[in-house]
Amino acid sequence: MKIGVVGAGAWGTALAQVMAQGGDVLLWALEEDVVASINTHHVNDHYLPTIQLSPMIRATGDLADMAECDALLIVTPAQHVRATLGALPDSATPLILCAKGIEAGSGKLISQVVEEVRPQSPIAVISGPTFAHEVAAGLPTAVTLACADASLAEKLAARVARPTFRPYLSDDVIGAEIGGAVKNVIAIACGVAEGAGLGLNARAALISRGFAEMTRFGLALGAKAETLAGLSGLGDLVLTCSSTNSRNFSLGKGLGEGQSAADLLGNRRTVAEGASTAPVLRDVARKAGLEMPIVEGVCALLEGKVTLADMIDALLARPLRSE
């Protein structure tokens, strides 16, 4: 099974490196210099410069080349998935979604976007606690591989699994997606706590209550509780909320130190998905009548509607309630 990876950021490149252990991989990059760097020097200078890439990886800047692949990993930023899918060759090739977020405007999960744009393509999701540089370096990693088609799931798992990259199968596509989307927003809040010097107790509280918000939101949209408590939910949440290796945690840390959201987001080459997901998540939750106070606080801070002190005070002043 020849794998194509659509998106040559750090995560897409890391996934290509893992997939190359099992055969040829075609990696699509938007930037011409990234294509040249990978094909000439076997290094992605822009996004993963410390990793020597497998010679089994070939980069391309032409999405039409993806027609030769048997399955495609979609690793572009969530807000660009719809346009990217529309530019791919028309086929029924299985799509493995690795982007984490909710589409702005429509409020749709990425799998729902695929169902609109490419209804003929079977869908799977890879999500879990993964830092790209660790995956690319071959450090042990476990992920959720969610697919409603059990037969396809087994075929994909056999191709994806490597000695240090272990997929756990699930049929809960929605749950796997929601965990990956919500945790990015909670990670911004945890970064804020770090930057503001609020301590480890505060971070643990945010992770716990953030998980409650993730679960509340997920169950309302049809996710399974066990998926949200697994690798793609709680596992990813704990990792992302605990390290400056996370772009979302780093963004929050900058906010907690008093920097403006505009400056922090304007100076980034890579994407902090939580910043785009937060307002969409808030709006979907409001329409569903769901309380998500941490998400609300992150949105207000990103939008400049409250000061850091006001955000902290608002969360601490909420009425007492049962857990």
Tokens of 24: 């040829």
Q: Give me the pLDDT at residue 224, please.
A: 98
Q: Give me the pLDDT at residue 267, please.
A: 74
Top-level class of domain 3-171: alpha beta
Q: What is the mean pLDDT of residues 118-128?
A: 97
246-304 per-position pLDDT tens digit: 999 999 999 999 999 999 998 766 778 999 999 999 999 999 999 999 999 999 999 99
Structure-derived torsion over alpha carbons of residues 74, 224, 109, 277, reported in degrees to the nearest 10:
-100
Selected catalytic residue, list 183, 224, 253, 305:
183
**Between helices 273-287 and 173-195, what is the axis angle to 10°?**
120
Look up 287 and say whether it is catalytic.
no
pLDDT of residue 34 exceeding 90, the answer is yes
Q: Which fold has domain 174-316?
A: N-(1-d-carboxylethyl)-l-norvaline Dehydrogenase; domain 2 (1.10.1040)
Tokens 């953030």 belong to: 210
Domain ranges of the chain: 3-171, 174-316
Band (pLDDT 50/70/90 cuts) for residue 64 is: very high
How far is C-alpha 157 from the geometric centre of its chain's CA atoms? Answer: 19
90-113 per-position pLDDT tens digit: 999 999 999 999 999 999 999 999
